[in-house]
Structure 1
């Protein structure tokens, strides 16, 4: 069997709020949740599990490859909700997107402060 990505736990200040934010952004359905986790499921069965750890949350970076149509809808939601965003990871290009790697990309933060990136073309 080859290795595939199955799940990750994303530290959240409010796991329900974070799961809702990602669900709406990525247009994915709710998934069964258990214990301290609120889950959403991406393609290929990949779970994002949101939990409220009893420690200070350290910022992580999560990048999602989306098609052009989802990018358009998600970017419109970011703008409509007044979510601060940038064209580049170092906060250059405020309120803009980039056109790197033959596609489009945007950087912003989730409700817990994690750095998110939406791209329409993979880097490799």
Structure 2
């Protein structure tokens, strides 16, 4: 396989210093690198910016650009896309860690939604960073290899249903049950 793992995903932020404070103090990520340029290295376009990186336990990173001269929404969201769709999901160790993270974030003044169970596959909490990026902390709640294989096997049928109907109330047509697919 060509791609070994995620190195980083990069997004825009409103204020690099505020972003560093949030990701280090709220989420405990390690601030590992910052670079500044007057020109975009790949295109040569004049656009003064700072590019900051935060490393996670597995070595992957989330990165941000502060670009004060370029117009646009700092979150980079498409205004036609609901704010719950575009988000970063960070995995935590287990449910106890997730519940404690929610309490800690709320104690620091953040509004947190959840925990939300997603099909007994993962459970998540949600909140926003200072630039308006929606963040998710999630933990895997299914550890049964048979059930995980069933999720994998059902994925094409779930997509098939969606492509046929674009309406989950019609799932009985494909799966023969109003309850859904894997139950």
What range describes the TM-score normalised by the shorter chain of this pair?
Answer: 0.7 to 0.9
Match of 1:80 among 95, 100, 107: 107
More strand by share: 2
Contact 1:64/1:119 (<8 A) preserved: yes
Aligned to 2:58: 44
1:61 aligns with 2:87: yes
Contact 1:66/1:120 (<8 A) preserved: yes
SS at match of 1:120: strand
RMSD: 2.4
- When normalised by structure 1's length, the TM-score is 0.75
Question: C-alpha distance in 2, partners of 1:20/1:122?
Answer: 30
Aligned to 2:128: 109
SS at match of 2:53: strand
Contact 1:25/1:74 (<8 A) preserved: no
1:84 to partner: Cα distance: 1.8
The more displaced of 67-76 and 40-49 is: 67-76
Question: C-alpha distance in 1, partners of 2:121/2:54?
Answer: 29
Number of corresponding residues? 115
Q: Structure 1 stretches (4+) deviating beyond 4 angstroms?
A: none
> Structure 1 residues 103, 7: CA separation in 2 closer, same or farther (over 3 Å shift)?
closer
Question: C-alpha distance in 2, partners of 1:6/1:121?
Answer: 21
Question: C-alpha distance in 1, partners of 2:57/2:28?
Answer: 11
* Rg (Cα) greater in structure: 2
Unaligned runs of 5+ in 1: 88-96
- When normalised by structure 2's length, the TM-score is 0.54
Using CA pairs below 8 Å that are at least 6 residues apart, which structure has the higher relative contact order?
Answer: 1
Unaligned runs of 5+ in 2: 37-49, 78-85, 143-147, 149-183
Match of 1:98 among 113, 116, 123: 116
1:102 to partner: Cα distance: 5.5
